[in-house]
Amino acid sequence: MDWSSTTYWWIAGGVLVAAELASGTFYLLMLAVGCVAGALAGHLGLSETAQVAAAAVVGGGATALWHFKRYRNPRSAPAEANRDVNIDIGQVVRVDDWHDDGTARVNYRGASWTVRHAGDAPPQPGDHVIVAVHGSVLSVRPRAPA
């Protein structure tokens, strides 16, 4: 059985897709797109040099475009501080008294929670905004005056 170069391109693309599914690295999928471009170039009857060039240009270009897209769009906040993940982020709690270690106890959503001061200034009693949730501890900063 004699395989053509396009068969090798399709197999390489399939291997890269399988590796992407196993690792979750989206860049491998872009390289698989490059292999598809090489296979299509082979189906068009182009030389092996042209197939490699097509795969390199398409795969490398797709990888570079994806990299620049991710570089321009900053990553979202970690889950414990991301309002899209945790509905408590941004909610206001009233802190009446702080302990010496920078923690306090507050009632929030019908339960008693430990809060930890996350601001730069010394903790003061008053309204605070939840900025992160670490297990059962709320990180808070002073609420900005209205």
pLDDT of residue 84: 74
Yes or no: say if 96 and 89 are a contact pair by the CB < 8 Å rule. no
pLDDT of residue 9: 95
Q: Is the CATH code 2.40.50.140 the one for domain 79-142?
A: yes
Residue keyed to tokens 């471009």: 37
- Amino acid 55 reads A
pLDDT of residue 146: 65
Q: Residue 60: which of 83, 35, 41 has the closest Cα? A: 35
Mean pLDDT over the full length of the chain:
89
pLDDT of residue 64: 94
- Amino acid 66 reads W
| pTM of the complete model | 0.54
pLDDT of residue 112: 92
Q: Say which DSSP state 44 is in.
A: T
Q: Is 60's pLDDT higher than 70?
A: yes
The domain spans of the chain are 5-72, 79-142
Where b means 16+ CB within 10 Å and e means fewer, 109-124 reads eeeebebebbeeeebe
CA 25 to chain centre: 12
Yes or no: say if 118 and 131 are a contact pair by the CB < 8 Å rule. yes
Q: What is the pLDDT of residues 7-43, one digit of tens each?
A: 999 999 999 999 999 998 889 999 999 999 999 999 9
**Of the candidate ranges 76-80, 99-103, 111-115, the one whose mean pLDDT is the lowest:** 76-80
